[in-house]
Amino acid sequence: MADGKKDGKKQIPLRLSPKLYAAIAAWAEDDFRSVNGQIEYLLTECVRQRKKNGKYVSDEIDVPPELDLE
């Protein structure tokens, strides 16, 4: 099902800068994943690391970094 009810996944709107999208798309291609799959993988790994380390993310995460992806 397109709305994610079958597999329990939620759909969310996500806005990315063109540079960040391009970097994730290139990384996804290297890993033979879709962009959506890569984002899900990266978020899953971040959550896993946070649970493993028991640490909270810095308050600075609210400020998007300027990416130097050239």
Q: Is the pTM of this model over 0.75?
A: no
> Is position 4 within any domain?
no
Give the residue numbers spanning the domain of 41. 18-55
Q: pLDDT tens digits for 2-33?
A: 555 667 889 999 999 999 999 999 999 999 99
Burial class (CB in 10 A: 0-12, 13-18, 19+), 14: exposed
> Is position 27 within any domain?
yes
Q: Residue 16 is inside which H or E element, if any?
A: none
Neighbours of 38 (CB within 10 A): 19
> Is position 69 within any domain?
no
> Is position 68 within any domain?
no
How many domains is the chain built from? 1
> Is position 3 within any domain?
no
> How much is the pLDDT for 51?
82
